[in-house]
Amino acid sequence: MLREPGHPLTIEELVLAPPGPGEVEIRIAASGICHSDVSYFNGAWEGVRPAVYGHEGAGVVAAVGPGVSEVAPGQRVLVTLVRACGTCFFCDHEQPALCDASFPLDAPGPLTTRDGEPVVHGFRTAAFAERVVVHESQVVPIPDGLPYDCASLLACGVLTGFGAVAKTARVEAGAHVVVIGAGGVGLNSIQASAIAGAASTVAVDLDESKLEVARQFGATQAFSPNNGDVRDAVLGLTDGRGADYVFVTVGSVSAMESGMELLRRGGDLVVVGMTPTGASASYDPTTLAHDSRSIVGSKMGSSVPAIDVPAFAVLYTQGLLKLDELISGRYPLELINEAVASTASGGALRNVIVFDIDA
């Protein structure tokens, strides 16, 4: 539980309300640590506290509330932060991550301290815990052959990074792609680009140790801005035009600004990473109009979890989607602060909190 930004997380016993109508209780087996969690931990994003975060969960259904028919107790599932009503404007347009409906779980939420103090249900999931209660729309069944730790990554990192390429931008075969950031999200953008048949996929990261990993995930070239002009390298690969697509998977204003300089005329800058609250980037609007460039936001990779997660599971079982290779470390809940510190340092791709469950 986070009580104050910048302070260690505390492990406490909380009270979890039972699932109500349309809700599901899950015993968590694995929960990935995303940089979005870290942004709340270090105060980069505003938020109400105390709170439990974690939004890349996988486990076993423990109980279901009235009206739930898609999953049953004992079923293996993953849990996403995408809570969708299925009937609003955004859901009707296959944008469930933008659903604007209200749910009973939104307030006050299912968590309280033993003294009755409300605890924020972080990311509508609160998966850094032994059990969670979420809306049924957040739960997607997973096959037996998909390990829990790998499955947890599908809930955000893969949906976001892979989806940005395959769903938001719809990168076509033969395209020239640049991915800025070769972390847990960026590597998924890289492997999605490779699977799409891109002519070149250029990985850019300040951490040179991640550049070799990027090549293993399908990058055809990998550069650090510290070791030369990335723009010259991209222009050299594209007959001087620039990239068709640039994906910025880190929450860096400078990366979002420099990404525009790597684009060809008519190219798309896809913003995936999220900056600290209040940050702003600067672009010359004349360049946008004159060169017909686009800036596109991508929340959760424009994904529909109920459709995309099963597709990712198939790619994994076929050996086409790397998941095991994304995991840098597995930690028990008691060592979550060490796992968070490793993630915050930039040295980890994805650290995963694992729980012992019989399933």
Beta bridge partners of 145: none
Give every CB contact of residue 297 below 8 A, 6+ residues apart in sequence.
Answer: 270, 271
Over residues 168-184, the mean pLDDT reads 97
The residue that leads in pLDDT, 108 or 126, is 126
Digit-coded pLDDT (tens) for 177-190: 999 999 999 999 99
Digit-coded pLDDT (tens) for 10-33: 999 999 999 999 999 999 999 999
Cis ω for the linkage preceding 108 (within 30 of 0)? yes
Reduce the DSSP state of residue 48 to 3 states and report it: coil
14 phi/psi in degrees, rounded to 5: -120, 165
Over residues 223-242, the mean pLDDT reads 92
pTM higher than 0.75, yes or no? yes
Beta bridge partners of 248: 180, 271
- Cα–Cα distance list, 162 to 20, 153, 168, 308 (Å): 33, 11, 9, 10
Query: Does residue 46 surpass a pLDDT of 90?
Result: no
Digit-coded pLDDT (tens) for 60-114: 999 999 999 999 999 999 999 999 999 999 999 999 999 999 999 998 899 999 9
Query: Does residue 358 surpass a pLDDT of 80?
Result: no
Whether the Cβ atoms of residue 190 and residue 179 lie closer than 8 Å to each other: yes
Digit-coded pLDDT (tens) for 289-320: 999 999 999 999 999 999 999 999 999 999 99
